[in-house]
Structure 1
């Protein structure tokens, strides 16, 4: 996961957190988080990168819509990232 951009990491977390993570739902969630528009030209190439890295699977829901799901490898990467973050958040809580 250390080779992902921050946007790709946020995208992976968002996919993991939605019931039916398709492109427009992901776009809406990320726009709400970032407080600005996420263009298709940014969203879909980054989704493809996550698929290419084996972190996400893409499945056609219909002719226009793809459903994205986090793979087992993607879940392991998310868990490892969370453990890494918890090391520092725990230290922050102790020093705060």
Structure 2
């Protein structure tokens, strides 16, 4: 996970939160979060990289539409990332409560 960009991590989170989304659904979720347009030329190469890394599976709905699903490795990577983030957040939050 350390070698992913923030954008790629966001894609993983979006895919993990949906049931086999297609590219357009992922794009729409990211645009809501970023509050700006996500171009196809940015999205699809990043999706392909995540597939190449074994974090996402790509399947075909029909000749024009693909779906994406997070792999068990992708889930493990997100869980490891969450644990890493929580160690800092938990520490920071406990300092504020004192």
Name the residue aligned to 2:47: 47
Name the residue aligned to 2:24: 24
CA–CA distance in 1 between the matches of 2:19 and 2:69?
9
CA–CA distance in 1 between the matches of 2:92 and 2:68?
34
Name the residue aligned to 1:92: 92
Which 5+ residue runs of structure 2 have no aligned equivalent? none
Q: TM-score, normalised by structure 2?
A: 0.95
The runs of at least 4 consecutive aligned structure 1 residues that moved more than 6 Å come to none
Over the aligned positions, Cα root-mean-square deviation in angstroms equals 0.7
- Determine if the alignment matches structure 1 residue 73 to structure 2 residue 73: yes
Q: CA deviation at 1:54?
A: 0.4
- Determine if the alignment matches structure 1 residue 60 to structure 2 residue 60: yes
- Whether the aligned pair in 1 keeps the contact of 2:19 and 2:69 (CA below 8 Å) is no
Q: CA deviation at 1:32?
A: 0.2
Q: CA deviation at 1:18?
A: 1.1
Q: How many residues align?
A: 96
Structure number with greater Rg is 2
Larger displacement relative to structure 2 (64-73 or 36-45): 64-73
Cα displacement string for residues 9-40 of structure 1 (whole angstroms, at most 9, x for unaligned residues)? 00011000012311000000000000000000
Q: TM-score, normalised by structure 1?
A: 0.97
Q: CA deviation at 1:92?
A: 1.3
